[in-house]
A and B are shown apart, each in its own frame.
Chain A
Amino acid sequence: MTLLQALVAFPVLLPMLGAAASVIVGRHASLQRVIGVVTLAIVCVVAGILLVAADRNGPVVAELGGWPAPMGIALVADRMSALLLLISSLVTLAVLVYAIDQRISDYGRETASTTFHPIFLLLSTGVSLAYLTGDLFTLFVAFEIMLASSYVLITRRTSASRIRSGMTYVIVSLTSSLLFLTAVGFVYAATGTVNLADLAGRMELLPDGLQTVLALVLVVVFGIKAAIVPLHFWLPDSYPNAPAPVTALFAGLLTKVGIYALLRTQTLVFPQDDPSMLLLVIAAMTMVVGALGAIAQDDLNRLLSFLLVSHIGFMLFGMAVWTPEGIAGTALYVVHHITVQATLFLVSGLITRRTGTVSISQMGGLAQTAPHLAVLFAIPAITLAGLPPTSGFVAKLALLQAGAGGGLASEIVAAFVVVASLLTLYAVARVWVRVFWGTPKEPLVDNDPNDELVVGTARSARGMYVGASSLVVVSIVIALFAGPLSGITARAGEDLYGRDTYRSAVLEPVAVIPAGDTGAGAEDAGDTGAGAADAGAADAGTDDGAGGTALAELPGAGTEVTP
């Protein structure tokens, strides 16, 4: 295993070890903060290296425990996963900086939190594992790590209202997890493997109807996680009740992991040639229902949550078109949206702390009292709506171009993209007018000092602004480097559509090693084999033949086992 291959495991291992270290130093607040920031910074660097390596030389595959792919667990960093890993870890780092400073300004520098930092890092572990994993069951485990952390984050420091919204979230997520587990069971029963690259070949041998059923079950499972209409109902209820950094992290990462999983499984295991009518219809519904829902809201966080739902539809649309360009558009859109949605929730947190309320109708004139907040909100808001010089425009253009070349149905849904963008623009413009224009209002008094949601004073420390504005900078950088970035996403789209790069990268090592030619593992296998044969000496005669075939299929074995 080369150093580069070992690096693939780092984004999973580091935050996990960091979380453990964070628990150990639980009493020392500053040490805990340093561990969190340093760990995530290293993960960012590693993700950057992986992206460059994957873009130059194809997917980086690490086989855990030295077991080749269809047998053991493989971690795969191809262009798509490395790109998403990089952008997610950047967002996670920025959100952590924001969260640390929010805690310091609320509770002072000395107060340590025994839960927040470890759980935050565990969430990061789960997200990284979900991006990198090469098999369906590890994907389930990654989702569970991620969701279990998110359950704790969303119900930490519980108030009555947070319990209420947390319950819906937990129950819906648990149900989808159990469905996922069921789907894994079905897939294994039908194909005898859970390795995604191996599944890609074996799924084609199944009857069409069975393939459709399995594809649909997975669409429902990931659809709940990604909050696509009509499975979105839990999201606008649960996200707004969590503190701003938590909401930002969830909005930026969790739903995108659902989209990524959908993209990965659908392109790899259930490839199609034509636009998928089902996904197109769901995408159009998601876009419009989300945007219309946003317009009806008065609560700033709920409005942003509905916009989040709406923009999930955009990503789904690129996938539904089923061309390399469409998938590339989805990749570009996910990258853009992770940063922008997280920024908006962070800024919404700053606004809420300043005004003491989440109700848009009770805010006003913030442009005069806090002009920096106005700038900080305006840039991501415009980006989300997709006005020309921003990264949102680039991503939407990619989607529209893909839709225009995809036949009549795609063109009709492409029109929905434009409509939903206009509705988004209307929704954020409405926020802008209500919150930033008009006469300034006095901040409302905080009626519940113990909840982190609304602090109701003008207290907000520098680090919170640093966290939020660094994400704004990231989204501007995305717009500036749209050329190289869309080059990467275009190649990632080709990879996902073509499937062969991924499959050969994961499965190749097995095909290369002939059964008889083994390395160091052979002696071990021989030893244990001899011991076992001794134990079962009574029927050794029948065993040798069967054991030989079994071993030939196993890695690192193949020496004839004779005592």
Chain B
Amino acid sequence: MTINLSMALVLAVLYSVGFYLLMQRSLMRILIGIVVVGHGANLLLQLAGGPPGRAPILDAVGLDEISDPLPQALALTAIVITFALTTYLLALGYRSWVLVGHDEVQDDVEDRRIAARQKPDGAMEEGTAAETESSPEDTADSHELEEGRK
């Protein structure tokens, strides 16, 4: 099987842009990242079937002319799934915006509390330690915690 270079490049761009966006803090960017990577994955499924050909109708087209229908069926299923989950993520982002006031993905607060606690007593000012410990499940986002530690 020959590899279509332009398609390989498109895939590379889609995947790298998508994963770059996935590593952002804002849920909207992550969502776009997931859409982009999803497009990449679906395109990859399509390309897995080999070069494009005619519609796979038996006896109307020669066997060597038709394109492999299976990856297209798979990609169709995958597109539907990606679409549904994108919608779900949008809803989640909206809910987060309503409840918390932003759509940033936050750090594990409990994790940070334990990390802060493990430090020797002298390493941190008293005030911050009390502040962090008193609100283990607060909604304070990671930036505030970060600043609190400094």
Query: B-contacting residues of A (Cβ < 8 Å)?
Result: 137, 140-141, 144, 148, 151-152, 155, 158-161, 163-168, 170-171, 174-175, 177-178, 181-182, 184-186, 188-189, 194, 236-237, 296-297, 299, 302, 528-529, 532-533, 535-536, 539, 542-544, 546-547, 549-551, 561
User: 9 interchain pairs (CB within 8 A)?
Assistant: A155-B95, A168-B105, A175-B22, A175-B34, A177-B81, A178-B34, A181-B41, A188-B74, A543-B60
- Inter-chain contact B63/A168, CB cutoff 8 Å: no
Judged by a CB distance under 8 angstroms, whether B125 is at the interface is no
Known contacts A167-B96, A184-B74, A237-B108; A543/B41 CB under 8 A: no
Contacts of B108 on A, CB cut-off 8 Å? 165, 168, 236-237
- Alpha-carbon distance between A107 and B36 when the two chains are bound, in angstroms: 42
- Inter-chain contact B41/A546, CB cutoff 8 Å: no
Interface Cβ pair total, 8 Å cutoff: 136
9 tightest Cβ-Cβ pairs between the two chains A and B: A189-B48, A185-B44, A536-B60, A546-B63, A181-B41, A547-B59, A532-B59, A237-B108, A188-B48
Judged by a CB distance under 8 angstroms, whether B16 is at the interface is no
Contacts of A148 on B, CB cut-off 8 Å? 81, 84-85, 88
Contacts of A297 on B, CB cut-off 8 Å? 110, 114
Please report the total number of B residues contacting A with Cβ < 8 Å: 48
Query: A-contacting residues of B (Cβ < 8 Å)?
Result: 1, 22, 27, 30, 34, 37-38, 40-42, 44-45, 47-49, 57-64, 70-71, 74, 77-78, 81-82, 84-85, 88-89, 92, 95-96, 99-100, 105-106, 108-111, 114, 137, 139
Measured CB to CB, the closest approach of chain B to A235, in angstroms, equals 11
- Alpha-carbon distance between A194 and B78 when the two chains are bound, in angstroms: 14
Contacts of B40 on A, CB cut-off 8 Å? 182
- Inter-chain contact B63/A549, CB cutoff 8 Å: yes
Interface of A is mostly: helix
- Alpha-carbon distance between A370 and B24 when the two chains are bound, in angstroms: 47
- Inter-chain contact A551/B58, CB cutoff 8 Å: yes
Our pick among B60, B82, B105 for the contact of A171 (Cβ within 8 Å) is: B105
Known contacts A158-B99, A184-B45, A299-B110; A171/B59 CB under 8 A: no
Contacts of B109 on A, CB cut-off 8 Å? 164
Measured CB to CB, the closest approach of chain A to B34, in angstroms, equals 6
- Inter-chain contact A164/B44, CB cutoff 8 Å: no
Our pick among B30, B42, B60, B81 for the contact of A144 (Cβ within 8 Å) is: B81
Contacts of A194 on B, CB cut-off 8 Å? 70, 74
The residue on B at minimum CB distance from A525 is B58
Known contacts A167-B27, A194-B74; A186/B48 CB under 8 A: yes
Contacts A171-B22, A302-B110, A543-B60 known; 20 new A-B pairs at CB < 8 A: A141-B77, A141-B81, A148-B81, A148-B84, A160-B100, A163-B99, A164-B139, A165-B108, A168-B105, A178-B82, A181-B42, A181-B44, A182-B41, A184-B45, A185-B48, A299-B110, A529-B58, A536-B59, A539-B62, A547-B59
- Inter-chain contact A536/B30, CB cutoff 8 Å: no
- Alpha-carbon distance between A163 and B96 when the two chains are bound, in angstroms: 6
Measured CB to CB, the closest approach of chain A to B139, in angstroms, equals 4
Measured CB to CB, the closest approach of chain B to A249, in angstroms, equals 19
Measured CB to CB, the closest approach of chain B to A297, in angstroms, equals 8
Our pick among A159, A160, A165, A561 for the contact of B59 (Cβ within 8 Å) is: A561
Contacts of B139 on A, CB cut-off 8 Å? 160-161, 164
- Inter-chain contact B61/A536, CB cutoff 8 Å: yes
Contacts of B106 on A, CB cut-off 8 Å? 164, 167
Known contacts A141-B77, A160-B99, A302-B110; A546/B62 CB under 8 A: yes
- Inter-chain contact A542/B74, CB cutoff 8 Å: no
